[in-house]
Amino acid sequence: MIGLLQRVTRAEVHVAGQSIGAIDRGLLVLIGVQADDDEARAERLLERLLGYRVFPDDTGRMNLSTRDIAGGLLLVPQFTLAADTRRGTRAGFSTAAAPERATALFDHLVRCARAVHPDVAQGRFGADMQVSLINDGPVTFWIET
């Protein structure tokens, strides 16, 4: 699985003009599901996201995690992250999981997140979403499992 995480002071997802998920300080994570992903990879990605040290401590060093600061976690499915862009000028999607499988794995990730973290919001798989954020830093990392 792929997680493109961004440290934010605020992030929100809208579908059809309505807010379906929002957080204040925390991580906005765009999630890409690849064909060979499974529940274990989703769970490993979640552990890394919650424990990844991207927030500043008292000295300004990135030593604190989302868990440490009790920050929000906004998970947004993004099919295009799993694209093969190595050749040509148009992305290929043969490396992405089939929609049914990707939906199930994204839902598993969200369920697991809600079981262990108090502030979890989500986007909607397959929807035309508008995502807004205030990237703090900016700080952005690509994480794969």
Whole-number Å distance between alpha carbons of 123 and 118: 17
Q: Give the model confidence (pLDDT) of 7-61 as tens digits.
A: 999 999 999 999 999 999 999 999 999 999 999 999 999 999 999 999 999 999 9
Instruction: Report the SS3 class of residue 49.
Output: helix
Is residue 94 pLDDT above 90, yes or no?
Answer: no
Q: Is 78 a catalytic residue?
A: yes
Instruction: Write down the catalytic residue from 34, 66, 78, 122.
Output: 78
List, in order of start, the domains of the chain with CATH numbers. 2-144 (3.50.80.10)
What pLDDT does 88 receive? 87
What confidence score (pLDDT) does residue 91 get? 87
Q: Is 80 a catalytic residue?
A: yes
CA-to-CA distance for 68 and 76, rounded, in angstroms? 22
* Active-site entry in 79, 95, 103, 141: 79
Instruction: Give Cβ neighbours of residue 61 (< 8 Å, ≥ 6 apart).
Output: none
Question: What does pTM read for this prediction?
Answer: 0.95
- Residues 80, 85, 130, 140: which is the catalytic one? 80
